[in-house]
Structure formats: C-alpha cells, structure tokens
Amino acid sequence: MNEQEQKKRKRFEELAGRARRNSVYTYTGFHSAEGAVLAYDVAAEREVTMWGGAENCEHVVIRFGDPNELAYEEPFPIRILCAEPKQAKFADALTHRDFLGAILNLGIERDVIGDIFVHENAAYFFVLEELADFVCEGLERVKHTSVKCHTVDAVPADCLPKLRSENITVASPRLDAILSKVYHLSRGEAKALFDAEKVTVNGRICKNPETVLKDNSKVSARGYGKLEYRGEEHATKKGKTGITIWRYV
C-alpha cells in the first residue's frame, strides 16, 4: 500500500469510527471505483454504501453507517449541475477535459467532482452539495465559451453509460475465462489483471482468477471495461458453457 492509499485508509477509518460512535452517517468525497474498495478494509460490508449520483458512475461517494442499526435513511450529499453555452451558435466544441479543467480552475479539489457526462455540448456533472453553489456561481467560461450553470434533477438518459446484451461461449465459467473471451486476452494476460489487483467484483478487489460469479454480479477490469454477469444459459455439445453478460458501451 503506497502513501496515498495509507492516507485514504486512515481517513476512511476516521469516518467509519465516527459513524459508529455518533450513530450518524458519514460521507467521503468522490473516489474512483477502484479507490473506494479500501472502505471494505475498515468497515463491514453492511456499513458501506456507495453512490455516484446515478447508476454505473465511475466515481462514487462512500457512506459509512449501517442503515439497520441507525434505523433511518438520508440522501447522499450530491447535487447534479448542468453547464451549457450561453450562445450555442458561437460556442467552441467542448469536451470532458475542457469542462473538468474549467471546474478545477475554480480552485477546488478533484474529489469534489464526480462523473461528467457531455451531451450536445453541455456537461452534466455531480458535485458535493457543500460546494455546489460555489461551482454553479463561479463556472462562467469553458475554453473561450461563456457558459451558464444551473441545478438539474437528473442526467438525461442519453448521457448515461449504456448496457448491451451479449451471449458468449466459454470453456469454463471461471472469471478469468470470461474476461479472456470478452476482452480478447490470453489466459496469462487475464491472470495478470488479478495479480495486479485490477479486477473488482461488486466493488471488491478479486484476486482469484478461478472465481465463479453469481448472477447479476458487476465486474470491472481496470483498463478494459465493465460488465454485468447475468448467468449461465446452456451447455454446448462440446462441453462449453454459454453465458449472458451485459457490457457497458
């Protein structure tokens, strides 16, 4: 564990401890899905909830606190903002990088901002509630384009990651065989992902390439993509296994 991960783990320990002592929910800033798995090292799974503002976000806020013990619920402190050109006709062609750079130039840290989705030259993005007004008021220009920023209730469905159903045939239902097939990897290349701790299943690092997935498991292979395992469909005459996955596109 490097120094940055040690600091992150210590912060998670502090938040998890405060949640238990004070019987309240505590929240982190936004973390990558891979970075968020450290939360499971300091708290039981029932005490950890992750949400990025919409389904399948790459960056999530971690909440510590067991809902069953606390006996109440509360929304995550996340607001959705939209930034769009004031005059679309004269606007630059704006990218994810352009919007992220303009937001960070306001002097805030990266963990204040979650995922950013760009659609028709407008950006929809998630911000921690405590700084949402500051970002909304301060974000006036992206590249050479004047923009207006306002709160919205939801990100348009066209912006969000989409899932495509695929039926594949594998020699074995082991996870390394599935990743090999889906991402066109050799078995050795797939195994290396597990050795490098680049594979997560339902938000937890998976080190065992022989893992057999449960239906509806969510899998991420860093550098390659994400998929959902929907279960075995049939066995072929040659003894192989047909399975269904949903792949993010």
pLDDT tens digits along 57-76: 889 999 999 999 999 999 99
Q: What is the largest CA-CA distance in the chain?
A: 63
Residue with tokens 């950013």: 116
The pair of three-digit structure tokens given for residue 243, joined into one six-digit string: 């399975």
**pLDDT value of position 110:** 94
Note if the pTM is more than 0.85.
no
> What is the rounded CA–CA span in Å between residue 173 and residue 69?
37
Please name which of 147, 61, 59, 50 lies closest in space to residue 103, comparing C-alpha atoms: 147
pLDDT in tens, 214-233: 998 989 898 898 899 998 77
Specify which residues 165 forms β-bridges with: 246
Q: Do 112 and 183 meet the contact criterion of CB atoms below 8 Å apart? A: no
Angstrom distance (rounded) from CA 79 to CA 155: 11
Q: How far apart are CA 142 and CA 84, in angstroms?
A: 9
The pLDDT score that the predictor gives to residue 222 is: 87
CB-count exposure of residue 98 (10 Å: 0-12, 13-18, 19+): middle
Instruction: Quote the pLDDT of residue 237.
Output: 65
Tens of pLDDT along the chain (249 residues) come to 678 888 999 999 999 999 999 999 999 999 987 788 889 999 999 999 999 999 888 899 999 999 999 999 999 999 999 999 999 988 999 999 999 999 999 999 999 999 999 999 999 999 999 999 999 999 999 999 999 999 999 999 888 878 889 999 988 889 999 999 999 999 899 999 999 989 989 878 899 999 999 998 989 898 898 899 998 776 766 778 889 999 877
Query: Rounded distance, CA 218 to CA 200, Å?
Result: 8
Residues 6 or more apart in contact with residue 24 via CB below 8 angstroms = 18, 65, 70
| Distance between CA atoms of residues 203 and 217, nearest Å | 10
What's the pLDDT at 1? 63
Q: Is the dihedral of CA 93, 106, 4, 29 positive or negative?
A: negative
pLDDT at 37: 84
Q: Which residue has 């939360």 as its token pair?
A: 39
Tell me the per-residue pLDDT of 12-23, one tens digit each, with 9 for 90 and over.
999 999 999 999
CA angle 225, 228, 229 (to 5 degrees): 125
| Predicted local confidence at residue 18, as pLDDT | 97
